[in-house]
Homo-oligomer: A and B are copies of this chain.
Amino acid sequence: MEIDQDYRALSVDTLSQRLGGVDAVASRVGGEPASWGIREVGDGNLNLVFIVSGDVGSVVVKQALPYVRMVGESWPLPIYRAHFEYYALVRQAKRAPGIAPEVYYFDKPQALIVMEYLHPHRILRRKLIDGERVDQLGETIGQFCARTAFRGSELSLSSPEKKADVGLFSGNVAIPAITESLVFTDPYYGAEMNHHTPELSPVVDELRRNARLKAKVQRLLMKFTANTETMLHGDLHSGSIMATDTEVRVIDPEFSQYGPMAFDLGMAVANFLMAYFSQPAHRQESELDEYQAWILEVIEACFNHFNAEFRHLWQTERTGILFPKSLFEEQGNSADDACDALLEEIRLDALAYCGIEMHRRVLSLAHNADFEEIEDTALRAKLEARNVLMGQTLIMEPEAYSDLTALADLARAYNQQEVL
């Protein structure tokens, strides 16, 4: 992967000099570039993220590094991921307006995006760990997934536009490769970079002996890697959602690719479920039940609003080659049943992808704070075990939990179970 020879990583010291002359930045920040307040806040694993503030306002500057930040130069990773993040951000802005940060400026050779500063939004994962509620959380995420899924597919896009996009995104190999191994494969054997809570080992060992489970996961990997239904966010965990108590936004689509409609939905729900299972370590007894109940409501809302919004778009914006009106409405046949059948397929795959995400976050390389910050490893393992086993159930028999009450009951049952 060639890096443009002009590429230079930004730093707190060089940023104002390098971007001071860019009007899209300067006009929004205001004042003398030399007096800008510049903080590097990249708490993430991969990139540089700066908040730049001045008399007028603030912007976020995100730049890809030619390696994985949390590991270092020994793990190179193409900076073109910033290009795909940019492509995804502008598509999301069209397909689900108001959710992704607005893009102010894009410098391709520098792999650099200047975007809207979300404030006072906080990363959702932190809010969930802290026991905060967010209005309309499930609704917004469900709707966001439905809008991007529908409007990025040939239910809506013209075929030439969609196929050109698939061609564009096929240039991205390194990023999907991370998902393919870290999410779908590494959790199920002793891959080198894996780690898990020591006390969880008996559960992990049994999981990895489950050949039927592994076969199902690999079939879902095949659907993920050889499917271009729609443009995904690709990494819609609770660290990619920022929220106030009433507004929900989605950041960081650098793992965007064309893939199955069910993927983002499943990953988002998995992160809600992991928040759910980790709560006993973060909440007082007195608040625990109510807060966990609220998380289950978020999940239900997420699925319901996905379906409602998808159905709405199906009826009002079905302009692509798939399920054309010429075959249905114009022949006096409703296409509603076809929509419901597709939604049921999406639900089942989403539950299975959900189970896989629940596994990889405790078994593979990139864990999540919900569990990772539990210092008592015995307690952590106990909660992780519930999560792992529910994930297994969802992968093995999603049909049994497509009913949302059954799904919530399942979560409640595992939440009571003393596995370890």
Contacts and interface: CB of A to CB of B under 8 A. Distances in A.
Given A219-B338, A227-B227, A331 B171 contact: no
Interface of A: 153-154, 159-160, 163-164, 166-167, 170-173, 176-177, 180-181, 185, 188-189, 191, 208-209, 211-212, 214-215, 218-219, 221-222, 225-230, 258, 321-324, 326-328, 330-331, 333-335, 337-338, 341-342
Given A321-B180, A322-B218, A328 B170 contact: no
A326 B185 contact: yes
Nearest to A165: B170
A334 B180 contact: no
A108 to B, nearest CB: 18
Given A226-B154, A335-B215, A337-B212, A221 B170 contact: no
Contacts of A160: 173
A215 to B, nearest CB: 4
A321 B221 contact: yes
B185 A159 contact: no
Copies of this chain:
2
Task: Tell me if A's interface is mostly helix, strand, loop or mixed.
Answer: helix
Nearest to A257: B163
Contacts of A176: 159, 163
A229 B335 CA distance: 28
B185 A321 contact: yes
Given A185-B321, A219-B338, 13 more contacts: A154-B225, A159-B176, A164-B170, A166-B166, A166-B170, A170-B170, A185-B324, A185-B327, A209-B331, A211-B334, A218-B322, A218-B324, A227-B228
From A170, A227, A228, A334, name the one whose CB has the most chain B CB atoms within 10 angstroms. A170
A189 B326 contact: yes
From A212, A215, A342, name the one whose CB has the most chain B CB atoms within 10 angstroms. A215
A35 to B, nearest CB: 46
Contacts of A185: 321, 324, 326-327
Contacts of A167: 167, 170-171
Nearest to A341: B215
B331 A189 contact: yes
A211 B180 contact: no
Contacts of A258: 226
22 contacts: A154-B225, A159-B176, A159-B180, A163-B172, A167-B167, A170-B170, A180-B321, A185-B321, A185-B326, A185-B327, A189-B326, A189-B330, A208-B331, A211-B333, A215-B323, A215-B341, A218-B327, A221-B321, A222-B342, A226-B227, A226-B230, A227-B228
